[in-house]
Amino acid sequence: MRPLAEHHCAVCSQSLDAPDATCRNKICRWSPERRCFTRVDALALFAHPLEQPIKRFKYDGRKGWSKVFGRLIVGWLEEHRRQVADIDLIIGNPTAPDRVPLQHIETIMESAYTEDTLDQWPIADPDSPVLTKKYETKKSASGGAQWADKLQAAEEHAKALRFHRSVEGKRILLIDDVFTTGATFHTVGKRLIAEGKATEVRGLVLARVPFGS
Ligand SMILES: [Zn+2]
pLDDT, tens digit, 9 for 90 and up, residues 177-201? 998 899 999 999 999 999 999 999 9
If you measure from the C-alpha of residue 153 to the centroid of ligand 1, how many angstroms do you get, rounded to a whole number?
20
Each residue's pLDDT tens digit, 62-118:
999 999 999 999 999 999 999 999 999 999 999 999 999 999 999 999 999 999 999
If you measure from the C-alpha of residue 135 to the centroid of ligand 1, how many angstroms do you get, rounded to a whole number?
30
Q: Where are the domains of the chain?
A: 27-208
Mean pLDDT of 110-130: 96
- Compute the distance between CA of residue 145 and CA of residue 125 in angstroms, rounded to an integer: 35
If you measure from the C-alpha of residue 64 to the centroid of ligand 1, how many angstroms do you get, rounded to a whole number?
31
- Compute the distance between CA of residue 176 and CA of residue 178 in angstroms, rounded to an integer: 6
For residue 5, name the pLDDT band (cuts at 50, 70, 90): low
Spatial neighbors of 6 by CB under 8 A, at least 6 apart, are none
If you measure from the C-alpha of residue 80 to the centroid of ligand 1, how many angstroms do you get, rounded to a whole number?
20
Q: Which residues keep their CB under 5 angstroms from ion ligand 1?
A: 9, 11-12, 14, 23, 25, 28
Class of domain 27-208: alpha beta
If you measure from the C-alpha of residue 15 to the centroid of ligand 1, how many angstroms do you get, rounded to a whole number?
8
If you measure from the C-alpha of residue 11 to the centroid of ligand 1, how many angstroms do you get, rounded to a whole number?
5
Spatial neighbors of 42 by CB under 8 A, at least 6 apart, are 4, 13, 179, 204, 205, 206, 207, 208
If you measure from the C-alpha of residue 20 to the centroid of ligand 1, how many angstroms do you get, rounded to a whole number?
12
Beta strands at 161-163 and 131-133: parallel, antiparallel or unpaired: antiparallel
For residue 47, name the pLDDT band (cuts at 50, 70, 90): low
